[in-house]
A = this chain, B = another copy of it.
Amino acid sequence: MANNSNKIGVVGTGVIGNGWIARFLAKGYNVVAFDPAEGAEGNTRRLMERIWPTLEDMGVAQEASMDKLKFVNTIKETVEDAAYVQENVPERENLKKEVLQEIDEHLKPEGIIGSSTSGITATTLQEGLRNPERLIVAHPFNPVYILPLVEVVGGEKTKKTVIEQAKALFTEVDMKPLVIHQEIEGHVADRLMEALWREALHIVNDGVATTDEVDRAITYGAGLRWALMGPFMTFHMAGGDAGMRHMLDQFGPALKLPWTKLVAPELTEDLKERVIEGCESSGQGKTVAELEEKRNEFLVKQLELVSDYWPLFNKTE
């Protein structure tokens, strides 16, 4: 990082905090961690032992070592001289603010602070910080040591260079930073997942299908495509040769149907054009047939891979 320190501070070592620790350790960083919970250090170290072979499969840095993890007893020791500090305490605004203020107090000015929050905006978390310009939301996905996505969101006071530096750090540890330019609850990925999740709960609640059936409705179908293509490119492909343009003409009216409990936006000309142009641009001028060939090549391999994992433990269907 720009400030030349190889030390990462991690405050809060639950599922997410531990995921960050593993990712930074695997890339050779020194990690200093703090969590007030009883037995936190033991839990983290046991997890690292357990997943280290996985990290090695993905490729660890030459200088990487579990020994580069140190637990300390105060936030002050955690963040002193750190280049970057990741906060992962429970999702309560007051608690987060308190912890962030303490981090801010002891972290050198050029250090950057990221919060793993999914539901609180950076602008809210900046309130009361002495150096609010170095705070970002850095929202990762479980398991953090494998999934590359991290949503990066600045608050009103965040400096642009801080976002650039954070992006560079995340890219260095093999992540795919996605900068979100508007602060909304749940950012982008969790909103999408939450919509799916709520609909899934409705389906179970209404007695239409069991949790297992809902899960299979995903894993055997759309779930196979989503590692390659999100909802827009997926529907671009479903439109035949004319792609999204045809798709919106054909299925646009379905937006008015009660296909989910989620009310759709009005499909205005402006929205239509934005969606069509977005898909065409993502498609990089390739025809749907060309995209299809790539997609099929992927899906065949994907199917080969997952067939070894369905069912997870030789469950009889």
Interface set of A (CB-CB < 8 Å, partner B): 14-15, 50-51, 54, 57-58, 90-91, 118-119, 141-143, 146-149, 151, 176, 178, 180-182, 184-186, 188-233, 235, 237-238, 240, 250, 254-255, 257-265, 267, 271, 274-275, 278-279, 281-284, 286, 289, 291-303, 305-306, 309, 312-313, 315
Contacts and interface: CB of A to CB of B under 8 A. Distances in A.
A178 B216 contact: yes
Given A201-B271, A204-B274, A300-B57, A262 B195 contact: yes
A186 B209 CA distance: 13
- Which label, helix, strand, loop or mixed, suits the secondary structure of the A interface? helix
B196 A231 contact: yes
Nearest to A311: B284
A146 to B, nearest CB: 5
A275 B215 CA distance: 12
A262 B259 contact: no
Nearest to A189: B217
Contacts of A237: 142
A248 to B, nearest CB: 10
Contacts of A192: 196, 199-200, 203, 214, 217-218, 222, 260
Contact of A208 (B180, B193, B214): B180
A227 B227 contact: yes
